[in-house]
Amino acid sequence: MRIFILAAIVLALACDSSQTESRTDSPSASPVEVQPAASASGAVAEIAPQTLLSQPAGESLVLDVRTPEEYAAGHVPNAINIPHDALESHLAELESRKDGPVVVYCKSGRRAGMAAEALTQAGFTNLLHLTGDMEAWSAAGLPVEKAGS
């Protein structure tokens, strides 16, 4: 349990520092390369919002681990919503994507860290964390889908 909490704290701190960088970048800035970020169980790579946006739809499974209400209010296009506290009960649905890439994000990083840890323990091998999470995506003025649109 301590390792799990430590991993979530480390990832949250990493998100906070990279979130500041993302907000200073202009929306037209060139994409940042994927960079590894430390986690307790290995490396979870970071993917910049602009880099994710430039990928063809469906190349990565984009997993929004916020609440259904947060997801409905606005999410990364083509993301699916599985709240972080319900993720373990949905692992069978994600089994076909075990070798990824799977991009995980939440509002600011804490829940994404918990989800990444759970996915790593379940054997997912190609996890990416959206740098700065939804806050950075929105701050960059990138497209947002809403429920029913």
Please list the pLDDT of the chain residue by residue as tens digits (149 residues). 334 333 334 334 344 434 333 333 333 433 333 333 434 445 689 999 999 999 998 899 999 999 999 999 999 999 999 999 999 999 999 999 999 899 999 999 999 999 999 999 999 999 999 999 999 999 999 999 998 76
105-136 b/e (C-beta count within 10 Å ≥ 16 → b): bbbbbbbbbbbbbbbbeeebeebbbbbbbbbb
- The Cα–Cα gap between 8 and 5 comes to 5
Q: Which CATH superfamily is domain 2-139 in?
A: Rhodanese-like domain (3.40.250.10)
Is the preceding omega at residue 101 within 30 degrees of 0, hence cis? Answer: yes
Known catalytic residue at 15: no
pLDDT given for residue 42 in this prediction: 54
pTM listed for this prediction: 0.72
76, 106, 116, 134: the active-site residue: 106
| Measured distance CA(32)–CA(38) in Å, rounded | 18
Residues paired with residue 128 on neighbouring β-strands, in sequence order? 45, 103
